[in-house]
Amino acid sequence: MKVPEDDEILELIADPSDQERGFKLMMVKYQKPLYWHIRRMVKEHEDANDVLQNTFIKVYKNIERFESKSKLYTWLYKIATNESITFLNKKKRIKTESLETAELVKESRAVDSQDGDLIIKKLNSAIDKLPEKQRMVFSMRYFDEMTYNQISEMLGTSVGGLKASYHHAVKKIETLILEGKLN
């Protein structure tokens, strides 16, 4: 099945008789990339699924506010990013120190037990050590291959600031990997 272009999807959503079909097509087109964008931020599969579901609910409730000033995927990524940040902030408030320690032990065991490329493990470990904003900018730029302008539109940050964040993130990752300061 060929997925229509964004403008065709938006036309279907605008038509009450085709609205459900339009939303289904939008989900087919963007579910996987949004899931991986969210997953890199929240880490856990179950959490990523919950945030993705919240993202699509928010999109459904607010689609009439989409003004086509930006591209549909930019708007969707912005909502997904905001939902991920909200989730992470709630998770930080709820967790106690002992729960955080237990989770870190669980995650480290899961990584150790998986067969995988050592380089990918080191990269992910280094990314996890970055401050939240640098981690988001690095993931959007490196994994999602977004332009600085797209990221700027989503995060409401200047392109210059994003370039600096990305540069600092890359340098920190290089230092962590080269100096062997990873678990």
pLDDT digits (tens, 9 = 90+) for 114-150: 434 577 777 888 888 889 889 889 888 888 888 899 8
Cα torsion through 120, 142, 166, 122, rounded to 10: 0
Collapse the DSSP code of 19 into the 3-class scheme (helix H, G, I; strand E, B; otherwise coil) and give the result.
helix
Residue type, 179: E
- pLDDT category at 97 given cuts 50, 70, 90 is very low
Please identify which residue in the block is written with the tokens 């401050």. Answer: 131
d(CA 113, CA 149): 39
Sketch out the chain's domains with CATH numbers. Answer: 1-96 (1.10.1740.10), 116-177 (1.10.10.10)
Residue 100: pLDDT band with limits 50, 70, 90: very low
Q: Report which secondary-structure segment, H or E, holds 34.
A: helix 19-42
Q: Cα 52 to chain center, whole Å?
A: 10
Q: Is the pLDDT of residue 113 over 50?
A: no
Model confidence at 95, in pLDDT bands (50, 70, 90)? Answer: low
CA distance 23 to 25: 5
The three-state secondary structure class of 17 is coil
Please give the residue that has the higher pLDDT: either 174 or 182. Answer: 174
- Average the pLDDT over 51-80 and give the result: 91
pLDDT band at 16 (very low <50, low <70, confident <90, very high): very high
Q: Give CA torsion, residues 131, 110, 43, 57, to 10 deg.
A: -160
The distance between the two most distant Cα atoms of the chain, rounded to a whole number of Å, is 60
Confidence class for position 178, pLDDT limits 50, 70, 90: confident
10-15: average pLDDT = 93
pTM: 0.66
Higher-pLDDT residue of 62 and 104 is: 62
Give me the pLDDT at residue 128, please. 86
Residues of 45-81 as b/e, b for ≥16 C-beta within 10 angstroms? eebbeebbebbbeebeeebeebeeeeebbbbbbbbbb
Please tell me the number of Cα atoms within 13 Å of 183 on its side-chain side: 13
- Give tens-digit pLDDT for 27-47: 999 999 999 999 998 989 999
How is 70-131 classified by DSSP, letter by letter?
S-HHHHHHHHHHHHHHHHHHHHHHH--HHHHHHHHHHHHHHHHHS---HHHHHHHHHHHTS-
